[in-house]
Structure 1
Amino acid sequence: MDETTLLSWGQIIARIATQFLPVWIALILTFAISIRYKRRLGLYGKLFDSPVGMVGFLLVMFWVYTAIFADMIITMDPIAQFGRVKNPPPGTPLKDVVEGQYAYFLLGADHLARDVFSRVVMGARRVLTIAPAATTFAFIMGVTLGLPAGYFGGKLDTVLSFLANLVLAFPVILLFYLLVTPEIRNTGIPVVLAAVLFIFPVIFFCTLFNARFFTNPPKRNLYVGITLAIGLWAYAGLAFNADPLGVWSMDPNLLNVFVSVVFVNSPTVFRIVRGIVLDLKARDYVAAGQTRGEGPWYIMLWEILPNARGPLIVDFCLRIGYTTILLGTLGFFGLGVSPESPDWGSTIDDGRKLLSLYLHPAITPALALMSLVLGLNLLADGLREESLKD
């Protein structure tokens, strides 16, 4: 084929499908194994009895595998500029192609001649690195505070609920905007918030193992010791960038975004957990645990929390979707991880400036963002549908 000729849409789709070959193989294997053993896989296996859940799972896993295999899928460096032509349409060939270089902009390029296809693919890695991890931290903090607030009640519940409502009373987008602006970094507030928020996983898992193995000191000391060693090592690196081995670190822009997501999401999770505990603590199995002489933290973590997993798993999926939208919003406003980052929000912002002339730079990342959030919502619906059958 003459590499000066614009590719047709059929050729573009065929080439894109070929680039995603590792994703198709991974999806086929995942579905084949999951459906084969679905009766042994609990709630996850039941998901494959729900058409809605399967569609959502397919969309989510498509982007998860895209993030994992991004280095194999991309055709060009997502932040490098190629050629002198601005906003070339999809299928445009590169000029002066060197050996080993991909010859076409499959989905066009933006105003800086950066490949849109590669930026969207690599943007999936950026989104799926931050959103699930930050949501997990928010859930751990919300669970750690929501369990005792609902179980003990009293002044502890009053104080924690007031603080949660105080954060929730602030407009979310404005709060995000304030927390991630470059000026806020100079105040040291992100580091202080990180120091407070990032200690909760250590507290949670130490309490979890202590409550479970309290009557078996050797095993308890082993698990708690491992948790403290790994947890405090990660804590020092993530919160203060003080890991001597350099394994755990977070650049200032990423720390701002990460802390903001955790800080904003934690109060909502707290309220959900508190409400569930207020309902479940009157159940017979809680009374049975109290009769056996089990401690309150054992009852909360090993009796109540497992029985609250259905609503929490559903909310976790939905919250990753909300976080994905928030990250896209931040990138759109130029407050993402870094100005040249290929995250979807920044790519949409770069493309919307010439939206009346060229659709491809903005529409492609917007569709990617929409499909991931849609998949998470459908997955949550499927999980909710199956959890109600238990």
Structure 2
Amino acid sequence: MGLSRNFGAGVAGYPATVESAGQAETVSRGGSAAALERLLQDRLALLGLIIILAVMAVAVFAPYIAPNDPTKVDLQHRLAPPGTQYPLGTDHLGRCLLSRLIYGARASLSTAALALWAIMLIGIPLGTLAGYCGGWVDNLIMRFVDILLAFPGLILALVIAGTLGPGLLNVMLALSAVWWVGYARVVRGMVLSVKEKEFILAARACGTSELGIIARHILPNVLSPMIVLATLDMGKLILAISGLSFLGLGAQPPAPEWGAMLSDGRPYMQAAPQLMIYPGLAIMTVALAFNLLGDGLRDALDPRGNTRI
């Protein structure tokens, strides 16, 4: 509905529109409860959530759960089989595999979470600015996004991480520098759709500032897809961080990290395949859990299947 048509309805039409917006907000609260109920009925999503919470608990309480020091070298027990002292055995330097897996969860999850926050802090504001302002601001931001999208994301992250030097912090910065473009494009598209709605025109006619419209009306309407996208991307980020660590650009010895553990166990793949099996299973399980939860959130928040990420 065009702006002229809204003005043609007269001033009395706006209170009705604002009232309907308030009713929509009330329905939204009820919709949140319904979405939670749908999520709890999804067994696969619940399984993913349970796995994620369990891994997070293990990462948080790693000093109290790990049976041994993950960096302690014991050459007398190198490549030892599972036993009382080392429940999953040891690696080629005699370090406890279980302890390194537990501490590796802390490194992988924390790095992925920090990278995701940085990505969202860059992508969401820029996407909102491009979609809401339009014009030369939109063209400037989106042309820069197009330039970054012209390069393979993982290759570009590999180049940036190699330039900055090895380390989890540099890996996080490299992934954040290339990953935010997807969020900017998704948010821009949603903002372009939302800003033409009647309740936005009503808020503007009632004297709400542009920042107020963005904070109170635009961002809440893009929150649900962003939650789904962020959940799905956690699994992808963990895979990317593990891949860069496997190549030697992430966690450095003797720090325990799943990708680095895969790299350390590669020379012993035939003699001691467990050195690669355990961290590989950990990466696969956590990435799968985030995918299951993300799919469940998408179905719960948008049961009609309108959201496509």
Superposition TM-score, scaled by structure 1 size: 0.67
Letter aligned with residue 103 of structure 2:
M
Contact 2:108 2:238 in 1 (8 A): yes
Partner of 1:106: 87
Q: Distance in 2 between matches of 1:314 and 1:142?
A: 15
- When residues 267 and 362 of structure 1 are mapped into structure 2, their CA distance, relative to the original with a 3 A threshold, is same
State the Cα distance separating 1:172 from its structure 2 match: 2.1
**1:108–1:361: 8 Å Cα contact kept in structure 2?**
no
Alignment partner of 2:59: what SS?
helix
CA distance in structure 2 between the aligned counterparts of 1:138 and 1:51, rounded to whole angstroms: 30
Checking the alignment, whether the CA contact within 8 Å between 1:355 and 1:362 is kept in structure 2 is yes
Query: Which residue in the other structure is 1:319 paired with?
Result: 233
Q: Would the alpha carbon gap of residues 266 and 389 (structure 1) be closer, same or farther in structure 2, given more than 3 Å must change? A: same
Question: Cα RMSD over matched residues?
Answer: 2.1
Give the % identical residues: 32
Does residue 1:328 correspond to 2:308, yes or no? no
Aligned to 1:184: 164
| Structure 1: gaps of 5 or more residues | 1-38, 92-102, 186-251
Corresponding residue for residue 377 of structure 1:
291
Cα distance in 1 for residues equivalent to 2:56 and 2:194:
34
Residue 321 (structure 1) shift: 1.1
Q: Show the counterpart of 1:50.
A: 42
1:289-333 deviation digits (Å, cap 9, x = unpaired): 111121222212210111111111000101111110111001111
**Secondary structure of the structure 2 residue equivalent to 1:84:** helix
Q: Which residue type is aligned with residue 321 of structure 1?
A: G
Note if contact 1:90-1:360 (Cα within 8 Å) is conserved in structure 2.
no
Equivalent pairs, count: 275
Shift of 1:90: 2.4
Shift of 1:279: 1.6
For residues 298 and 45 of structure 1, what CA distance do their matches in structure 2 show? 31
**Pair 1:342 & 2:256 matched:** yes
Check if 1:89 corresponds to 2:81: yes
Q: Which residue of 283, 293, 296 corresponds with 2:210?
A: 296
Question: What is the identity, as a one-letter code, of the residue corresponding to 1:257?
Answer: V
Choose which of 129, 153, 166 in structure 1 pairs with 2:147. 166
SS of the counterpart of 1:105? coil
The offset of 1:40, in angstroms, is 8.6
Q: Distance in 1 between matches of 2:219 and 2:187?
A: 9
Matched ranges for 1:58-77 at <5 A: 58-77=50-69
TM-score by length of 2: 0.83
The equivalent of 1:149 in structure 2 is 130
Unmatched 5+ stretches in structure 2: 1-30, 305-309
Partner amino acid, structure 2, of 1:372: V
Distance 1:287 1:163 in 2: 30
Greater shift, 82-91 or 275-284, is seen at: 82-91
The corresponding residue for 1:122 is 103
Query: Deviation at 1:46?
Result: 4.7
